[in-house]
Amino acid sequence: MTVTIVGAQLGDEGKGGVVDLYGDTADVVARYQGGDNAGHTVVHDGEEYKLSLVPSGAVRGKVGVLGNGCVVNPETLFEEIDALRERGLDPDVRVAERAHVILPYHRALDGIEEEEKDDLAAGTTGRGIGPTYEDKAGRRGVRIGDLLDPEALRDRLEYVVPQKKALAEEVFGKETGEAFDIDHLYDTYREFGERLAEEDMTVDCGTFLQERIDADESVMLEGAQGTSIDIDHGIYPYVTSSNPTAGGATVGTGLGPTVVGQGEVIGIIKAYLSRVGTGPLPTELGGVEGQTPDYDPAEASADEEELATYIRDEGGEYGTVTGRPRRVGWLDMPMLRHAARANGFTGLAINHIDVLAGLDEVKVGHSYEFDTADSASHQNAARSDDGDELLTMPPTTEQWGRCEATFKAFDGWEDVDWAAVAEEGYDAIPENARTYLEYVSDELETPIYAVGVGPGREETVIVETPDE
Ligand code: IMP
């Protein structure tokens, strides 16, 4: 059986902790999309490991696979593996030969294009993710398998690099260096290929995983980022360039949809909202300069700013990869209803309810009031009983930006000894927090499998274990 872990919001929902927890019973943990734009912190035997590419299960002795849907920067991959080895671990990481390679010119172009896009910039992590997926779709990418085949690598680079160089120099007027130099790239990436071969790291991902499943092993499929920054189902163009949604788990690993569909699909939800990057956010509290559209700190409500800072600090809402402060907001239920449908969640893990402890009142954006100019495109959207409010996200980001959240308020809950709560179980969670959790579960018609009550994986209340 497979267990697929999907972010239900904008990424940073605390997937790592859940993967870590449920991954304990898994034999293999495979990532199916994204690259070193993901950041996760794993705490193991009291040691903290920060990873952006290597699947977190590899820290715990599981086989970690980077699926064909991933984009792999070999430099990051080996840096992370070497750092883990230096700390006494022996990670077993496999990489799909069909996965695409992030090359230095992808990173360079990511920065150049973001600068050029101005208001349309997605606020990317600058890791070259978008340009690499562009080349994949443009059929001019370099794949992991090519690094093992000197002739194929040379051919691919000779075709693509002059185009990238011309783009950077002639379209964007930038100077280029060795990131755009065929010989340099060939030598460097051949070496990476040799190391991949020497360490026997490459696999035909679908076959590899299916064999493990046929041998009765349990496979966890780990999504990075989240549903609302999915390239198809997210807030385009402020999205990442892959499919974090559950469909991506099949395309990005080579396992059939029926295989993934027979397993569990667990939606990971943070009890509030946070994001790095630009674009609308109807339930946002306060704002962050350079990210919140039209943000003017002088005009922001002092109460909201205080609340936002409180949540940001309590929740450690600063990017793992970039260190940028994240924008924060109340839970957005239309976003979650959209995610529940797009992913077909079979269970939910709701994280970070401890972060909201101590607030008098906790709100959620229950629905949206929408601009009547948009009503035609909202024809088949779920609405409230009186038809005046939207219950799911509209299809365009511009329409989403015109939605105003209608809030529901819940009584806050006290700060308690969360480690004790985790040990005692669900009924030990403060009553008001349970009311909040059950509202989310009822609205999404999906049972709660786990509740995160602190940063460590022990600080999780387990209600249901997927493969038991
Ligand atoms: P990219 O994935 O670096 O191209 O960035 C595209 C958008 O996705 C930006 O808004 C990023 O902030 C966001 N993003 C990418 N990776 C993550 C992540 O792991 N967590 C949250 N947001 C992310």
Residue 320 pLDDT: 67
Give, in order, the Cα–Cα distances in Å from 132 to each of 100, 197, 241, 271.
7, 22, 9, 33
Structure token digits, residue 98: 């069909």
pLDDT on residue 175: 97
pLDDT of residue 379 exceeding 70, the answer is: no
Q: Give me the mean pLDDT over the 448-453 stretch.
A: 97
* Structure-model confidence comparison of residues 279 and 2, the more confident one: 2
Helices (H), 199-332: 205-214, 247-251, 257-262, 302-314
Q: Indicate the pairing of strand 361-369 with strand 389-390.
A: antiparallel
So what's the pLDDT on residue 183? 98
pLDDT of residue 268: 97
Q: What is the mean pLDDT of residues 430-435?
A: 98
Per cent of the chain over pLDDT 70 is 97
- Nearest-atom number in ligand 1 for the CA of 35 is 2
For residue 238, the CA-to-ligand 1 centroid distance in Å is 9
Active site residue 338: no
Contacts of 70 (CB under 8 A, 6+ apart): 31, 32, 33, 34, 35, 96, 99, 100, 252
Residue for token digits 């990670």? 91
Nearest ligand 1 atom to the CA of 125 is 3
Q: Catalytic residue at 417?
A: no
The predicted pLDDT at position 46 comes to: 81
- Three-state DSSP at 230 gives coil
Instruction: Please choose from 12, 37, 233, 278 the residue to mutate so as to test ligand 1's pocket, defined by most ligand atoms within 8 A of CB.
Output: 37
Residue 88 pLDDT class (50, 70, 90 cuts) = very high
pLDDT of residue 407: 97
Atom 20 in ligand 1: which residue has the minimum CA distance? 11
Q: Which of 20, 40, 106, 352 is catalytic?
A: 40
The rounded Å distance from CA 125 to ligand 1 centre is: 6
Q: How far is the CA of 132 from the centre of ligand 1 (A)?
A: 14
Write the CB contacts of 297 (distance below 8 Å, at least 6 apart in sequence): 287, 289, 305
Confidence of residue 16 (pLDDT cuts 50, 70, 90): confident
User: Which residue, 21, 5, 468, 467, is CA-closest to 218?
Assistant: 467
Pocket of ligand 1 (CB under 6 A): 11-12, 37-39, 122-125, 127, 129-130, 224-225, 229, 238, 240-241, 276-277
* Residue 22: per-residue pLDDT: 86
Confidence at residue 24, expressed as pLDDT on a 0 to 100 scale: 85
The chain-wide mean pLDDT, for the chain, equals 93
- Give the model's pLDDT for residue 368: 95
Q: How confident is the model at residue 96 (pLDDT cuts 50, 70, 90)?
A: very high
Residue 156 reports pLDDT greater than 90: yes
Question: What is the Å distance from ligand 1's center to 464 Cα?
Answer: 30
Kindly indicate the confidence band of residue 68, based on its pLDDT and cuts at 50, 70 and 90.
Answer: very high
Measuring CA to CA, which residue among 20, 1, 3 is closest to residue 345? Answer: 3
Q: How many other CB atoms are found less than 10 A from the CB of residue 121?
A: 16
Do 352 and 342 contact (CB within 8 A), yes or no?
Answer: no
* DSSP symbols for 179-214: GG-HHHHHHHHHHHHHHHHHTT-EE-HHHHHHHHHH
Residue 277 is predicted with a pLDDT of: 80
Which atom of ligand 1 is the closest one to the Cα of 130? 4
Q: With CA atoms as reference, report the closest residue to 239 among 252, 248, 227, 230.
A: 230
Predicted local confidence at residue 44, as pLDDT: 80
Name the more confident of 217 and 17. 217
Dist. CA 361 → ligand 1 center (Å): 30
Strand (E) or helix (H) holding 29? strand 28-31
Q: Which atom of ligand 1 is nearest to the CA of 37?
A: 16
